[in-house]
Amino acid sequence: GPDDVSIILSPNQTFELVQFSPLSVSCSANCFPSCQYRWTGPGNYSYGNTGVLSVPQIRRDQAGVFTCTAMNPRIPNRSTTANLSVT
């Protein structure tokens, strides 16, 4: 049922990137009806309302925990996190 919705991040949940390299993480869940997604990052900064977190050039001050929240009218909001370190 809708209560066992799991959120999947790809390619993974932990990232170690060199500064100014690109970050791309997709977030998906097996929702019905389909979910909407919201990505937030450190400082509660919003990274858009698509299932893809995309930052062309990551900076050190953007390192930290990013949260993908999946929402639809039939289930409570579900979220999962990705951890990013930038060197």
Domain limits of the chain? 2-86
Spatial CA neighbour of 77 closest among 67, 87, 66? 67
3-14: b (≥16 Cβ within 10 Å) or e? eebebebeeeee
What are the tokens at 80? 């999962």
In this structure, what is the dihedral angle of CA atoms 55, 59, 62, 65, given to the nearest 10 degrees? 70
Q: State the average pLDDT over residues 50-75.
A: 94
What confidence category does residue 6 fall into, taking pLDDT thresholds of 50, 70 and 90?
confident
pLDDT at 21 over 50: yes
- Cα(2)–Cα(15) distance, rounded to whole angstroms? 30
How much is the pTM? 0.89
pLDDT at 1 over 50: no
Homologous superfamily of 2-86:
Immunoglobulins (2.60.40.10)
What confidence category does residue 39 fall into, taking pLDDT thresholds of 50, 70 and 90?
very high
**What is the model's pLDDT at position 62?**
95
Q: State the average pLDDT over residues 9-31.
A: 95
67 near 80, Cβ under 8 Å?
yes
Residue 19: C-alpha distances to residues 15, 41, 47 (Å) = 12, 16, 18
